Structure 1
């Protein structure tokens, strides 16, 4: 029998709660739902009023992966959607995860959540700048931390505050709150910054994606500032072998990182971190901390 649960007055059909999604740890679909319920307050705050894209992995990270920007088939009529412009589809809609029922409905599909750097209603006007630091083996998140510290100080020189989170994979994401700024302008600034970083630290950083340039270095991916691109949301689970989370981290943790395991956070780690530190990404939600590009 498929259980139906009532969440804030909405009936949600939950399925296969005992199904193992992460075979390495035995983490089940029921635990995926429990995780998202546990982090709902900060998660919902960070995806608030943003169109979400879903990376679905209903059979675990070894199974088929489906990336979708469109509302999945069977999306309930009470789940909010917002119009988003796309070159191929002038009248496309995307889901907005606005409340706990929407979050539980989406989590039941087993998804990573990805968002653009702009809110619903203001496409291509960004209120975030994102730098995705991606290590080329044998480099790891340790090298990403060194790059992140240089970038943080360089951004600070321009009056911009950076906040770090793990990607939930191998790297780090830096998020910088902005006053609303056209995405094209943010992209240009981010690219120039990545080029400057490579100039300052050529043994550590590359700003181009070419695989041949990347072994042992950190690729500063500035491309996610393009209006059409998205980034893994804070606190989302990732489709990896372990139930890893894209987890906000403190600059003290970044500075102290010596091994990749120092910044590897699984679903069960996040509740205790929130209890101890609160939401380390909360400053991104404070309009008084939003910076202006020079």
Structure 2
């Protein structure tokens, strides 16, 4: 029988806590739930009021994986949801993770957490810019760091404050808080940056999505700024061979990275990093850091 846990007054049935989700490290579902619970403050801050999409991998990263934006069947009535416009004639409902009980419920489903660049009250109006740096082998995270340093300076020239995090996979994400702007505008600005970076570093960067152009280069994916797109949120676990986390990093770490392993962090390293650095993504939550995009974008 599944154990019943009470979280913030909500009764939760937590299933198969001893199930190994990450065979390479022997990491169990119970350990994953412990990580989510102890990291809840940061996770919830960055997910607040953002409709969440789930990449579910209930049998671990080697099992079936499926992406869902709709509210999963069996979702408790007390889990908050919101209506989200869609490309079809009908809108859909998505989950909002606003409290610890809802977060633990979601973690029990075994999920990556993905969110858009806008909040529930302003769908399609972004309050942050995202740039996804995706390396094509033999390029690695090291090459992403080189591109990220240039992008940081370029964004600063436009008054934007960039924060960096690992994707938890192969690449790097840069995010910057912005004054609210239509998603089409942020996408256009990000695309212009990608084209500019590709022109500045033609042997290192590509702004084109064609996969045959990516080997040995960093694809600067601007498309995640589109209203319909989502990005893995800060501190989410990823469905990888080991329990890696999309981890905020310092710019000193980006500047000194010479090996991808230096910026690969497992779930049991995050508490120590937060104790040392605090939440390196806190500027995204500070309205005083937000800056308007250039009018020329």
TM-score (norm 2): 0.98
Equivalent position of 2:252 in the other structure: 252
- The structural deviation recorded for 1:88 is 2.2
Equivalent position of 2:104 in the other structure: 104
Structure 1 position 43 matched with structure 2 position 43 = yes
Equivalent position of 1:214 in the other structure: 214
Structure 1's 158 and 212: CA in aligned 2 closer, same or farther, altered over 3 A? same
Secondary structure of the structure 2 residue equivalent to 1:75: coil
Secondary structure of the structure 1 residue equivalent to 2:169: coil
Residues of 2 paired with 1:121 and 1:90: CA distance?
Answer: 18
TM-score (norm 1): 0.99
Equivalent position of 1:61 in the other structure: 61
RMSD between aligned residues: 0.6
Structure 1 position 77 matched with structure 2 position 74 = no
Secondary structure of the structure 1 residue equivalent to 2:240: coil
Residues of 2 paired with 1:274 and 1:143: CA distance?
Answer: 26
Q: Which runs of 5+ in 2 are unaligned?
A: none
- The structural deviation recorded for 1:91 is 2.6
Q: Which runs of 5+ in 1 are unaligned?
A: none
Structure 1 position 200 matched with structure 2 position 183 = no
- The structural deviation recorded for 1:187 is 0.4
- How is 1:220-259 mapped onto 2 (pairs within 5 angstroms)? 220-259=220-259
Residues of 2 paired with 1:290 and 1:90: CA distance?
Answer: 33
Equivalent position of 2:3 in the other structure: 3
Residues of 1 paired with 2:58 and 2:212: CA distance?
Answer: 34
Residues of 2 paired with 1:185 and 1:90: CA distance?
Answer: 25
Secondary structure of the structure 1 residue equivalent to 2:228: coil
Secondary structure of the structure 2 residue equivalent to 1:35: helix
Residues of 2 paired with 1:61 and 1:88: CA distance?
Answer: 31
Equivalent position of 2:116 in the other structure: 116
- The structural deviation recorded for 1:260 is 0.6
Secondary structure of the structure 2 residue equivalent to 1:51: coil
Consecutive aligned runs of 4 or more in structure 1 exceeding 4 Å deviation: none
Of the structure 1 ranges 229-238 and 211-220, higher mean CA displacement relative to structure 2 is found in 211-220
For these two proteins, the number of residue pairs brought into alignment is 294
- The structural deviation recorded for 1:203 is 1.2
Equivalent position of 1:16 in the other structure: 16
Residues of 2 paired with 1:89 and 1:179: CA distance?
Answer: 29
- The structural deviation recorded for 1:291 is 1.2
